[in-house]
Structure 1
Amino acid sequence: MCASAKLTLHHFGRAHHLRIDSAKDLANVLLLDEAHWVATSAPINTIRGDAAFLELIDSDHDGRIRVCELRDAVIWTLETLTDYSGLEAKSTALQLSAINCESSDGQRIFSSAEKIINRLGSTATDCITLSQIRQIKSEVQQMPVSEAGITLPDAAADEQTSQFIKDVVDTVGGASHPCGKAGVGQEQLGRFCNMAKAYLEWVKTKEQDAGELLPLGEKTEKAFKLFSDLRSKIDQYFFQCQILALDSRMIDQIPPRTSDAENADLGDSQSITHLMAIAPLARPCAERTLDCKGAINPHFVESFANLHQHVLKQLLDEDLDHLTECQWETVKKRLMPYEKWCDSKPEGAFAKLGVAKLQGYLDGSCISNVRHLIDQSHETAFQLDNIRLIEKLLLYQSCLLELANNFVSFPDLYDPTRRAVFEMGTLVMDGRRFNMAVKVIKRADHAKVTALSSMFVLYIRVNDHRCEKPYELAVPVTSGGKGGLVVGKRGVFNDIDECQWDAQVIQIIENPISLNEAMFAPFKRIGQLVTGKIEQLTSGAEKKLDTATQQSMSNVEKAVTDAETSKVQHQAVQQRGLLAAGGLLAGGGVALAAVGSALAYIADKISQNPTLILGGLGGAILAVLLPSILLAVLKLRRRDLSAILEGSGWAINLRMRLSRSQSHSFTRMPRYPRGTKGLRGFRFWVINCIIVGIVVLVVGLGTYYLWIGGFNS
């Protein structure tokens, strides 16, 4: 399709966006300089959409969609289709007649689609759907031989080959098949053959050098196990004997030491076992011999008896009463060839297969049968390539127009009835609905960018049970006031799928939300300051009152205790208590009188020159109010939605200033159902009448004083 040189732009918010409603508009995307695109790059994990579609768009698989990748997708789609009605309808059904068979991929898609339709036996022979293609894709992926050549036992034509595949997996490990099971690929088969040959050579060495490797014949394996269990302990014994031969005083340093025995809990079996395990095999002696029939550590007595009977006596050819260090070295040398042979055993659990079965596998046809099955995987891979190509065209036809309308331009963001692909749902909290929510990957980085947006933003944590862990969202508050929005406040989050989850505020970035809130913010601060001062004065007066009261009560108590000794003193104390109480009352009266005097003074001054006083008061209010209004208007006009997206990793070209209609759309207080009764009762009208009366009275008095002042002048 040839792009038109005439582009149609729409005015959304305070910026111009390309209109993309048809295939012709999509072709015009190629003409639009990327500097005029709303977004030029975006992370996939912040976009709602078909995961396979997003992976196809992300051709370099870096987790981001960029301008060049979206352009390539548009070009490929327009070249592969001749009929764009399905593209404009965002249809998941592909008409075969809409495929351009003259394009490079169109012919493959057409022929493969025909084969799949015949395989399905569908009545609609000229159309294939996304659900059908994914069904076939799943069936092909579940085939016993995957496209990567991973072969399952079910792929074998005979039981012997099937068992061979199982044995390969058990001995050298398998590769993952798309169905989740373990199978055999070319790598596993080659490793099995090499390791099996090495194992057979290893076994053959044992037969060839049996005289040296097996000093006790078939009993050598059992004898070596007994030898290995006690070798370190007997070596330790002779080392300890060497130390004693050097210095007999070292006997006290041989464990367990006296301190070890004293600290041991002899009532605990584990403590006793540990103490015996670190103790010598027998009591060391300077003669460097081991009395085989003498006292042996009870912890090792049974294993040493077996070693003496089946190893020492057999290898040394004599009935030993004492084992010398030289004889022990002889035993180790006799068993050393067998030990080296054991250490050279190849990897893999081949012993359980047996030499005969293993040799049969190497000499038989099982290996060639599996290689033949692996070679067939190329056919599976070819089928899947064609299936994925059809799936790609179906996904582009159904999803590409929507992605372009949320990348090149953002009309869905400005339409209250639709959702942009980066919007995650609606937060219900504080009696309001917050209709814009964007996914946050790293909150700290997001907050740094959002702080420059002049917007009031909530960060919430959503406990979605379908996810492994909670995720975080940024929610802008665009109308009304702060209300009860504080860190820790809870609400519910309704996602796009209409599922509801718990949500909690975890961070707030504060900025003016509305003009009213910004106007009265200075007066709220003044009110808080005055309230704080009053609270300080009140608390100080309360402390003085408490101190005076306590002093009076203590004087009274002292007078009572001294009453028996001095009646005169008792009367004096009572008089002082009464005087103190009187002082308190007098102090309270003085305070009230001071307040009354102040009010009277203010009233007198106003009556003397009402015009000047009221004018000055009004001027002071305007001096505070006008700058507040000006700053509020400037801040509210600077509110920028693009910062919310940029914090999540989007690259935004245009400044997305928040319009008035958007403000009330993104944050709103829902109305009650029509016809709801009891919302405005008698109390509501009484309060409103009182407020109106006060306003009328103030205006009337102001007018009267101004008129009197003008008349007098």
Structure 2
Amino acid sequence: MATIQSQHKWRFFRSGGFDQVALDSAADLQHLSELDPKLWTVLNCPTTGLEFDCRTLALLDLDGDGQIRVPEILAAVRWSCERVLDAEIMFKAPGLPLSAIDDQDAEGANLKAAALRVLEITGKTEADPLQVTDLADMTLLFSPHHFNGDGVVMAELTSDTELAQLITEIIQTQGGQLDRSGGLGIHGDSLNAFYQQAAAVVDWHAAADPADPLFCPLGDKTVEAVAAFEAVKAKVDDFFVRCQLAAFDNRAAEALNPAVAVYDVLSNKAISSSDKDVAALPLAAIAAGQSLPLGEGINPAWASAMSQFKLLVVDPLVGSKSKSKAGHLTADQWQQICDQLEPWRSWQAAKPDTTLHQLELERLQAIVAGDGKERLEALIAQDLAASTFADNVDAVERLVRYQRDLVTLLRNFVSLSDFYQRKHKAIFQIGTLYLDQRSCELVLKVSDMARHATMAPFSGCYLVYCTCERQGETPLQIVAALTAGDVDELMVPGRNGVFYDSQGRDWRAMVTKVVAQPVSIGQAFWSPYKRVAAFIETQLQKFAASRDKDIEAKTTTGVTAAATPASTPAATAAVAGFDIAKFAGIFAALGLAVGAIGTALAAMIAGLFSLVWWQIPLVMAAVLLLISGPSMLMAFLTLRRRNLGPLLDANGWAVNTRAKINVPFGAALTGLARLPAGAKRSVADPFAEKKRPWGSLLILLLVAVAAAVFWWFKLN
């Protein structure tokens, strides 16, 4: 993007460690395209995970890629400024007066006329401003009795009862399309599909001739006969093919009949004529040239179906044949039956697959022969031609939403003034997390946990990831930045808190992950001592646990030894013996250690008291600085680079600067528990631990020892 030299006098403010442009006037909007993109805070942001109207974001996202980019922002600003008389209206309270719309050109005139129509429909006057809520339900703005430009025609749109009935029948068989008025209608595609299917059904019926004996060999009984034929066809075909194989090779007959083992299986259970194993057997015994018995000798599972087949098909078609009278059907007779029923069966196979069969044939014939299709096409064309009002209503909605939301977006995109000036929450701040007597305001939604966990640590912030749950809602993943207070041993995964979203709804929040970072230099000062204390505590616990385990083991061994009779006096002496040399060695080693420590302490104290009195505090401060200095330096460097950018980048933003979160600003983002002003506080705790003098006595003893040592060194 080429940089344009702007003649507009911009105003910038310093916050977050960088210069941000102030957008406060109509001139700022009109010249926004001249602002160097390098001075924009953000270059693109996602359309999801934001506390911002999703419909407005959809209108801004011209290419539908899920990202709001600089050209789309500029296009929205430019169009808004062109459609209003004074762009200062963009900075006013939500609500677009009719008088603010510029109607000097055709587009503006149509837009203003549509806006006036919306006011009339919603029961407002010309003096009332248009609000987003007036356009929230578009179905209220469009009547089913009027054309609305969407190409969908409802039955209510015509006074012709025949056309209305036809529209209803199309909806019943093809499904309805949603009209802008909220009802169901038809459009060109469903109309064409209906008439194509209707013509196919009419042609299919025309192909049938019930009076033709070749087409309906059994007259009005053909349908029933074909059903009985279809029920046994596969099984009869199987029988005759097996018999033909037996005739082809007489060795095949035995294999084509069921094996004896099959009957062994059946013999071990109660069987019936409906048993699947029985039905799977051949229709009758297989032999070369065998005809199919129609009575005795038939598989009992097929007896009923074959009886119907004989009654409805065989007797009427080949009943005069001797074999059929004898209760058998030959292969030639079976082929004759197949040939006679084939025309009807082929016609049935060609039956169109459509729901239009639910309509009477006479009605379909009348529809195909009538001019309903042409008349409905004319209605649809009229509706499409009336798209001006609908299109202008869309433009009215866009302008009203931009007047309410666009400046807010600019103050979270071109600059981050909403975030740093704290008059309003930024659009990426989705709520407040309450956890361990603190409130965290910098809370972002996490859509991709893996990506966020990779990028977010570079922010230098102490991060707490939580899973939030609320009955009836989809679980929500969030990340909160803790920028003030003490966090030592605080955010252990599994801790619970409460998250309040922007609507004030409370969610149960459970900590799932922590990214530890320094929170303040004061915390860093004490961290070495806390780590040492934690280490000593851990070692003491390990030592106590080890001693307890040893005592338990020795006690168990002693009890076992006492319960077991000693085999010899020597063995008893070995168990109960005491190694005086080992005991003396331990005491000698302890004595040497205590002596060495005492000597070192004495040397340190001697060196300390050899200094002038005012040098002693300096030495002690130097020691503290030596211990805490590295931690404080690391904390200082981390806090100095703490910034918002990686947190937003992890959510799909393209942040164009280092948006710092310094210590004072961080303290404002995390609230700590404090008593209200003027509150009375009682310090009396009935369950407080009783005060004992041992601590004071120990301090006095140490002071006395120090004084004695100082006096001894002075004398020597």
Does TM-score exceed 0.5, indicating one fold?
Answer: yes
| Residue 52 (structure 2) aligned to one of 43, 49, 53 | 49
Give the superposition deviation at 1:207: 2.3
Contact 1:446 1:648 in 2 (8 A): yes
For residues 690 and 646 of structure 1, the distance between their equivalents in structure 2, rounded to whole angstroms, comes to 58
Distance across 1 between alignment mates of 2:694 and 2:504:
43
When structure 1 is superposed on structure 2, of 96-105 and 449-458 the one drifting more is 96-105
Would the aligned equivalents of 1:480 and 1:513 in 2 still touch at CA under 8 Å? yes
Helix, strand or coil: the match of 2:20? strand
Q: CA RMSD in A?
A: 4.0
Instruction: Measure the CA separation in 1 of the matches of 2:582 and 2:144.
Output: 93
Aligned twin of 2:597: 602
* 1:587-640, Cα deviation, whole Å (9 max, x unpaired): 999989976874565235413542459999987765442122111110121112
- Distance in 2 (alpha carbons) for counterparts of 1:588 and 1:143: 108
| Mapped pair 1:367 → 2:373 | yes
**1:95-494, aligned counterparts within 5 Å?**
95-103=97-105, 105-119=107-121, 122-125=124-127, 127-134=129-136, 138-140=140-142, 147-178=149-180, 182-207=184-209, 210-245=212-247, 246=249, 248=251, 251=254, 258=261, 262=265, 266=269, 273-318=275-320, 320=324, 321-378=327-384, 380-465=386-471, 467=473, 469-482=474-487, 483-494=489-500
Change (3 A) 1:423 1:240: same
CA gap of 1:639–1:127, structure 2 versus 1, over 3 A, is closer
Q: 2:264 and 2:19 mapped to 1: Cα distance?
A: 88
Task: Kindly state the Cα deviation for residue 369 of structure 1 after the two structures are TM-superposed.
Answer: 4.0
Q: 1:120 to 1:632 in 2, by over 3 A?
A: closer
Find the counterpart in structure 1 of residue 669 from structure 2: 666
Residue in structure 2 matched with residue 5 of structure 1 by the alignment: 8
Superimposed CA distance per residue, residues 397-452 of structure 1 (whole angstroms, 9 cap, x where no aligned partner): 11111111111011111234421111110111222211121122211111111122
* 1:646 Cα deviation from its structure 2 partner: 0.5
| 1:454–1:639 CA contact under 8 A, matched in 2 | yes
**Alignment CA distance shift 1:44-1:709 (3 Å):** farther
Given that 1:611 and 1:705 are in contact with CA atoms closer than 8 Å, whether structure 2 keeps it comes out as: no
**Does the CA-based 8 Å contact 1:223-1:310 persist in structure 2?**
yes
Q: What's the offset of the Cα at 1:197?
A: 1.3
Contact 2:253 2:286 in 1 (8 A): no
CA separation in 2, counterparts of 1:344 and 1:407? 63
Number of equivalenced pairs: 698
Q: What does the per-residue CA deviation read over 1:355-391, in whole Å, with 9 as the maximum and x for residues that have no partner?
A: 1111112233543443333223225532211111112
Q: Please report how far the alpha carbon of residue 213 of structure 1 lies from its aligned counterpart in structure 2 after TM superposition.
A: 2.7
- Which has the larger displacement, 304-313 or 110-119? 110-119
Q: Secondary structure at the match of 1:149?
A: coil
Paired with 1:461 and 1:142, the residues of 2 have a C-alpha distance of 46
1:629 matches 2:635: no
Question: What's 2:613 paired with?
Answer: none
Distance 1:538 1:129 in 2: 72
C-alpha distance in 2 between matches for 1:7 and 1:66: 22
Any idea what the Cα deviations from partners look like across 1:14-62, whole Å, max 9, x if unmatched?
1111111232333343332111111010111132222222122112222
Deviations 1:303-341 (A, max 9, x none): 111111111222324361212233222222222222222
Mapped contact 1:458–1:508 kept (Cα < 8 A): yes
- Quick check: 171-180 or 404-413, which moved more? 171-180
SS, match of residue 46 in structure 1: coil
Identify the residue that residue 31 of structure 1 maps to in structure 2: 34
Helix, strand or coil: the match of 1:656? Answer: coil
Cα 1:157–1:594 shift into 2, 3 Å: farther
> Relative to structure 2, which stretch is displaced further, 256-265 or 374-383?
256-265
Instruction: Please give the secondary structure, in 2, of the residue aligned with 1:206.
Output: coil
Residue pair 1:462, 1:501 contacting (<8 A) in 2 also: yes
SS of the aligned residue for 2:458 comes to: coil
Q: Identify which range, 18-27 or 652-661, moves more after superposition.
A: 18-27
SS at match of 1:639: coil
Distance 2:712 2:168 in 1: 108
Question: Structure 1 residues 44 and 253 mapped into 2: Cα distance closer, same or farther (>3 Å)?
Answer: same
CA contact (8 A) 2:433 2:441 kept: yes
Q: Is the 8 A contact 1:43 1:63 kept in 2?
A: yes
2:571, 2:562 → 1: CA distance? 7
> Is the contact between residue 86 and residue 398 of structure 1 (CA under 8 Å) also seen in structure 2?
no
Unaligned runs of 5+ in 1: 563-568
Q: Contact 1:145–1:152 at 8 Å: present in 2 too?
A: no
Q: CA deviation at 1:141?
A: 7.0
- 2:601 maps to a residue whose letter is I
How far off is 1:710 after superposition?
Answer: 8.7
Q: Secondary structure at the match of 2:514?
A: strand
TM-score by length of 2: 0.86
Q: Which amino acid aligns with 1:150?
A: V
- Residue 8 to residue 524, structure 1, CA distance change in 2 (3 Å): same
CA distance in structure 1 between the partners assigned to 2:649 and 2:126 by the alignment: 46
Contact 2:6 2:35 in 1 (8 A): no
Moved more, 650-659 or 550-559: 550-559
The structural deviation recorded for 1:527 is: 4.6
After superposition, the C-alpha distances for 1:82-103 in whole angstroms (9 at most, x for unaligned) are 23443221322x2232222225
Greater Cα offset, 455-464 or 630-639: 455-464
Normalised by the length of structure 1, the TM-score is: 0.86
Residue pair 1:474, 1:644 contacting (<8 A) in 2 also: no
- Aligned partners of 1:41, 1:35: CA distance in 2, in Å? 13
Mapped to 1, the partners of 2:17 and 2:631 lie a distance apart of: 24
Q: Which moved more, 1:158-167 or 1:9-18?
A: 158-167
Q: Which residue of 2 aligns with 1:566?
A: none
- 1:16 maps to which residue? 19
Check whether the contact 1:264–1:275 (CA below 8 A) recurs between aligned residues: no
Query: What SS class does the counterpart of residue 79 from structure 1 fall into?
Result: helix
Whole-angstrom CA distance in 1 between matches of 2:365 and 2:503: 59
CA-to-aligned-CA distance 1:141-175 (integer Å, 9 cap, x gap):
76686633222333342443333222223333433
Contact 2:447 / 2:651 at 8 angstroms: preserved in 1? Answer: yes
Distance 1:259 1:291 in 2: 22
Distance 1:154 1:556, change over 3 A: same
Q: Is the 8 A contact 1:256 1:278 kept in 2?
A: no
**CA separation of 1:540 and 1:333: change in aligned 2, threshold 3 A:** same
1:268-325 Cα distance to aligned partner (Å, 9 max, x none): 999x733233222233333332111113333322111111111122232436121223
Moved more, 645-654 or 362-371: 362-371
- How do 1:584-599 residues align onto structure 2 when only pairs under 5 Å count? 598-599=593-594
Which residue of 2 is the match for residue 507 of structure 1? Answer: 513
| Greater alpha carbon shift after TM alignment, 240-249 vs 353-362 | 240-249
Deviations 1:172-191 (A, max 9, x none): 34334456654311111111
Identity of aligned residues (%): 25
* Closer/same/farther in 2, CA of residues 607 and 83 from structure 1, 3 Å limit: same
Distance in 2 (CA, whole Å) between partners of 1:588 and 1:267 is 89
